[in-house]
Amino acid sequence: MSPSILLPYIYGLDLSKNEFGNDQQFPISLQEMCNLRWLELNRTNVNRLPEFIGTLKSLEKLSLSHNNLRDVPFCLNNLTSLRSLSLRDNHVSHTQISARLFNNPDLSILDLSHNNLQAFPKDIENAKGLIVLNLSSNQIEQIPSHVFVSLFELVHLNLSDNKIDTLPAQMRRLTSLQVLILNNNPLIHAQLRQLSSMNSLETLHLSNTKRTLNNVPAILEQLPNLSDLDLSANDLPAVPDVVYKLKALKRLNLNDNQISELTGQSDSWPQLEILQICRNKLRSLPQQLMRCTKLRRLYLNSNQISLYGLPRGIFNLEKLEVFSAADNNLETIPDALCRLGSLKVLNLNKNKLLTLPEAIHFLQLKELDVSDNPDFVMPPKPKECQKGSAGQVAPEQPTAHTDIQQKRAARIRRLNKPEQRNSPGSGGSSETVLRGMRETAKRKHALDSNTSNNGHYNDNEEIAGRRWDEQIERPQLNYSEFFDGAIGHIAGITCWEIENFLPKQLERQLNGTFYTGDCYIILHTMVELSGNTDWNIFFWIGQDATLDKQACAAMHAVNLRNMLGASCRTQREEQGDESDEFLTLFNHHLRVIDGARTETGFWVVRDVEHPTRFYRASGTQKLHVELVPIEATSLDSRYVFFLDIGPRLYIWNGKKCNSMTKAKTRLFVEKLNKSERKGLSELIQINQGEETDKFWKELGGKPQDFQVTSHVANDFVPSRSILYKVDLGQEFIELPQVELEPGGFLKKELLHTRNIYILDCHTELFVWIGKKSARLVRMAATRLACELLSMIQRPPHAVITKTLEGAETQVFKSKFDAWDDVLAVDFTRTAENVSKKGADMKKILQENEMKTNLTALFKNRPPWQTRQAAQEALEDWNIFLLQPFSMFVYENKKFVKLPDDERGQFYSHDSYLFVARYLLPSEDESMDNSELEDEIKDSDTERIVYFWQGRNANNTAWLSFNFTFKQELIDVLGDFEIIQLIQQQENQRFMAHFNRKFIIHNGKRRTAAQRMQTPLQRLTQTQMYHIRWCYSTIMTRCIQIEATSANLCSEFCYIVTVPLDSGDIIGIVYVWIGNSVHPDDALLAQEIANEMYNDSYTIQVINEGNEPENFFWVGLGDRLPYDLVSDYMRYMRLFKCSNDNGFFVVTEKYADFCQDDLLDDDCMLLDTGTYVFLWKGPTASIIEVKFAAKSAELYIQHLRTREPDRPRKLRLTVKNSEPIEFRKCFHAWSKHKNPPRELEKQNAFSISQQEQQKQAPKKSHSTNIFV
């Protein structure tokens, strides 16, 4: 295939920073890129474009910035698909722009900034599709009144740095405008009344536009979306009053004014993130400004602020990242500023600093500038920082956040019609699942000849148990890459030969013809009269076969057996020792030929060929090597050259070369010899005038009367390397340039292992191939490099070099900054110590430091979801559920269908199974629901099986599901996802499907046989259920608790069932509504009671204070005192203190936590709003306990500043000795679960506490250890 065939598939090309000064240097091959979509020619010194650019009919984006164009090329008028045109920083005048350019209806982005425009281009109003227009940095004096009559779709308009003194009234038509930049214009006569109609305006820049307190438009408060305002350089004496009324403001720039104070209205910017008020006359900041809690950057440079000018409430700015107060009167900073954990940049230069608080060492600052403070003394580090126990904060783990949007709601509602849900043929119903399971059992029963009964199967008979080896689940592997799926179904013989580690099927006429250097797999398929299929599998080993063929033949023979599900063994047959059974397959006429038909898969070691290269070395600070022609005339006495011919490396030193360059070149060549040649090449250094005949011969011979001259230009500057990234799509190729850091230096970090890059060094192109890059991209990159080599004019000796990741050449590494593979060596350490811990001292010190992560303690409590938001989320979860759950319960060692009337009712000793089918959201959000078909494809759905396990249930159901029932479901449903849920640890998606009616009973569910014998079972004791939710109303649960009046609370609802001894009525059900209960929760409690109990019970709804004495209080034992409020619900937080990650970390548990979140081998912190409990697990280490106690102390100190009106006290508690203040924070607290094996060694403190509990059960179960 010719490389030129690649050009029509190129969609994007970036040729910036190349030299195209005239038509002769311009790449002519561009005209062959008929499908080119975008082209960038920035900084190419272009003064005119060739006419063939107009033939690129598919071109949509063209960038010609920073060139020498004096007019807009006429050929651009032919680009009918052009959408974006950038002519920034050229010499274009408004008279040199063709009016035809604006007749293109698709033109949406136009950048003519930094040119010589003195007026608006003619007929620019015809470009009615313009969205972005940039005319900044020109000499425009007036805006024609008719321009904006047609350009009403503008979204971004930049007219800064011109000479405009007024704005036309027609700008009112720009109702879609979002960004308006008018900086550095003498808008003396502009009152900006046009802004009143720009309701979509988000950014307004009026820097240096002669604004005063009188002409700042008051209509700014009518712009609800204005978030970015720039009023800098206007000599304003104060902040205009209208600015304080901008509630949506996020960025405010007031630099270079005469502002002396900010008023008390500064708290009217709740969304403010960036505030710039440098070079003013401020002496202090108002306390109200500290209420802008979203502020991230605060710039106060060049004012008159002192220490007392910074309010104490600055610690409220928790998200502050940059605090810049240079050139002020600060002697120090307040301690509160050092409590901002998010602070990264602190600029305090040119102040009167004497010192800083010691807490400055605890901040993880990236930049601290205290220069130009002559009397400044840095405070000493605290002991904690010196030991590294608190100074190193481990990086916070990112949390995954899933937000499912509402998509295609109308279609889903049509699919969820009642008649479709209840139809007997519904694919997701439980009847279909059971029917499919029975069919699967029938097929297994029919295939088992030992247990078959003439194919007859009775639905009422139980399936016989399988042998233990049949129950072992085989790995679900895909063998389609090795064997055809139709293999093994037709009687006869099939043979494969091993080639390059893989089996390759032989043609049928070659069966029985083997080579001594090959290995083969033979399959004998037999079909019996009854229709059953049986197989024999052999693998034949030739006497001269290589080891890889022998191993792969045996391995793939086993793979073939697994794919067929055969019970036979694979038989090894060696050449000359074949069995009779094997020879019978070929009628004892086995033909063996000497030699090998296939290649081995092992690598064949070949000598590496090193092409001859001749380089010129220059530079003292950084060595630059450039490829030059391999001839004597390339030598220059001012440079160093080295010649690489493989076994020999020559270094030629010119008489006038720099000694530093000479030394660096010698070191460079030595590195090359060591890393690429293993030190086997001969290094020869030659000075000018001492050349040998052999050296001249390597250069092609010495010309007659040859003298080394200084032919390289005195102003020679090495060409800058350009790094391209090869992007390959399904039908296109793009070649963008990689953006470099400021300074234009190449960094090693720019190369990613999954990508391929082309490094253009003018005389040499490197194709860097990442280890994980795709093979097709590698092929395309090689051809693309060939095109790039010929596209741009280069010297004849330019070459292309391939380099692999991890095996880069020294020449390639030299193009990057600070790419040095030299290992650091510390001669003060022993060899044994270096071999154990390595040589990187920085890494060793970081490993030895004791890391901690306490950031969770200083974060705000996650806000709870509102009822409206929770209801919307509940509908979002349910809208994708296609059919109701298929529900099963584990009963009598099998899963049976759960009756529909028990939906949402669980028992703590049982396990349940729910099969759900969801519709996947469409990726195309713009698709109209009404245009979609009602039929659902399997690829548009997903199936999830929820396994719910009660708190007191054993693992028998889970094991039975994994080893038996799971495979049966796979046969019926196909692939599905399994989510295991534990009682009170369910996720929101699962809980949303029960519509807040989630009931958990104590004990075990009655079996079907028990229900038949005793349909109505009388209760023996009073039952009590507590209805409560945390974080979101979706997580509402009704859980059975101990029946005592002490568990009541006025803010919750309870269901109390009092049994009756005789009569048709089994018991009385009281729905107890507390005085502080929300009406929605009260109605929910009544609905739950109606679903839990049938007509055999009497249901009564009673409000708090109206309880009947005869049954209610008697049924609960007695009337005991109970809580009237539950303030702990508004403050409670649970933190886990653990060393699981190798360092001490504090993480906050989910707001809907439960008792089982208390882990025996960790410590927990529980904040109730009144106390902070330190709960110690029985097996928690001493280190965890110490760190947890210190963390609790820091947390309480932090709360004293955040919530001074609610001081906390620290209390210690242990397992099985928790006080009531601790237990009531957990819904349905009960006895802790017993571990499978009693731990022999318990913590001595825990044992002593348990003994004290037995001796004095009525005493307090916690201890105040810190107040």
Query: What pLDDT score does 927 carry?
Result: 47
What mean pLDDT do residues 628-642 have?
93
Considering only residues 297 and 485, tell me which one the structure prediction assigns the higher pLDDT: 297
| Confidence label for 1020 from pLDDT (cuts 50, 70 and 90) | confident
Q: Is the pLDDT of residue 420 over 50?
A: no
Sequence-ordered list of residues with C-beta below 8 angstroms from that of 570, at least 6 positions apart, any chain: 537, 538, 539, 554, 557, 558, 561
Lowest mean pLDDT across 29-38, 119-128, 477-486 = 477-486
pLDDT for 422 beyond 50: no
pLDDT at 554: 94
Quote the CA–CA distance of 47 and 68 in Å, as a whole number.
5
What does residue 520 show for φ and ψ, rounded to 5 degrees? -135, 155
Structural domain that includes position 1106? 1016-1119
Q: Quick check: is 737 in a domain?
A: yes
Alpha-carbon distance of 598 to 1036, in angstroms, equals: 68
Same domain, 587 and 686: no
- Distance, CA of 520 to CA of 1133 (rounded, Å): 67
State percent of the chain over pLDDT 90. 47
The mean pLDDT of 885-890, rounded to a whole number, is 90
Residues 272 and 391 in one domain: yes
Residue 1202: pLDDT over 80: yes
C-beta neighbour count of 1120 within 10 angstroms: 12
Token pair for 1147: 């993480």
According to the model, what pLDDT value does residue 312 have?
81
The whole-number pLDDT of residue 437 equals 64
Q: Please name the amino acid found at residue 94.
A: H
Whether 533 has a pLDDT exceeding 90, the answer reads no
Q: Among 148-152, 171-175, 397-401, 894-898, whose mean pLDDT is lowest?
A: 397-401
Average pLDDT (858-878) is 89
Residue-wise pLDDT for 914-935, tens only, equals 999 988 876 554 444 444 445 6
- Cut 0.85: pTM above it: no
Domain match, 554 and 638 both = no
601: burial class by Cβ within 10 Å (0-12, 13-18, 19+)?
A: middle
User: Are residues 586 and 618 both part of a single domain?
Assistant: no
pLDDT for 432 beyond 90 = no
Q: How confident is the model at residue 191 (pLDDT cuts 50, 70, 90)?
A: confident
List the structure tokens of 18. 């190349």
pLDDT at 835: 66
| Shared-domain flag, residues 746 and 875 | no
What is the reported pLDDT for 20? 84
8 Å CB contact between 1169 and 1127: yes
pLDDT digits (tens, 9 = 90+) for 720-775: 899 999 998 777 889 999 988 777 789 899 999 999 999 999 999 999 999 988 88
Asked whether residue 426 carries a pLDDT value surpassing 90, the answer given is no
Q: What is the CA radius of gyration of the chain?
A: 40
Task: Provide the Cα torsion 595, 600, 602, 606; round to 10°.
Answer: 60
Last residue of one domain, picked from the residues 372, 395, 418: 395
- State the Cα angle at 153 between 148 and 156, rounded to 5°: 85
- 167: number of Cβ within 10 Å: 21
Same domain, 282 and 379: yes
Q: How confident is the model at residue 1249 (pLDDT cuts 50, 70, 90)?
A: very low
Which element (helix H / strand E) includes 524?
A: strand 519-527
Residue 500 shares a structural domain with residue 522:
yes
| pLDDT computed for residue 434 by the predictor | 61
Q: Say if 64 falls within a structural domain.
A: no
In angstroms, the CA 51 to CA 44 distance is 17
pLDDT tens digits, one per residue of 891-916: 988 899 998 888 999 999 999 999 99
**Distance between CA atoms of residues 5 and 783, nearest Å:** 10
Q: What is the pLDDT of residue 1079?
A: 93
Residue 831 lies in a domain: no
Tell me what pLDDT residue 265 has.
77
Looking at the fold, whether 1132 and 1261 belong to one and the same domain comes out as yes
Last residue of a domain, one of 1098, 1119, 1140: 1119
Mean pLDDT rounded to a whole number for the chain? 84
CATH number at residue 1096: 3.40.20.10
Asked if 735 contacts 784 with a C-beta cutoff of 8 angstroms, the reply is yes
Residue 784 lies in a domain: yes
Q: What is the pLDDT of residues 1073-1087, one digit of tens each?
A: 999 999 999 999 999
Residues 977 and 1036 grouped into a single domain: no
Same domain, 619 and 583: no
Question: How many domains, the chain?
Answer: 7
pLDDT of 335 > 50? The answer is: yes
User: What pLDDT is attached to residue 605?
Assistant: 66
Res 1013 pLDDT > 60: yes
* Residues 1090-1119, mean pLDDT to the nearest whole number: 87
Give the residue, 715 or 1173, on which the prediction is more confident: 1173
Both 1020 and 1106 in a single domain? yes
Residue 1063 lies in a domain: yes
List the single range of 570-574, 776-780, 796-800, 1073-1077 with lowest mean pLDDT: 776-780
- Do residues 113 and 137 lie in contact, with contact meaning Cβ atoms separated by under 8 Å? yes
According to the model, what pLDDT value does residue 838 have?
Answer: 65
For the segment 409-422, the average pLDDT, to the nearest whole number, is 48
Q: Is the pLDDT of residue 208 over 90?
A: yes
Contact of 1136 with 1164, CB cutoff 8 Å:
yes
In a domain, 692, yes or no: yes
What's the pLDDT at 827? Answer: 55
Asked if the structure places residue 171 within a domain, the reply is: no
Q: Are residues 387 and 281 part of one domain?
A: yes
Burial class (CB in 10 A: 0-12, 13-18, 19+), 907: buried
- Within a domain: 1260: yes
Q: What is the mean pLDDT of residues 1160-1185?
A: 94
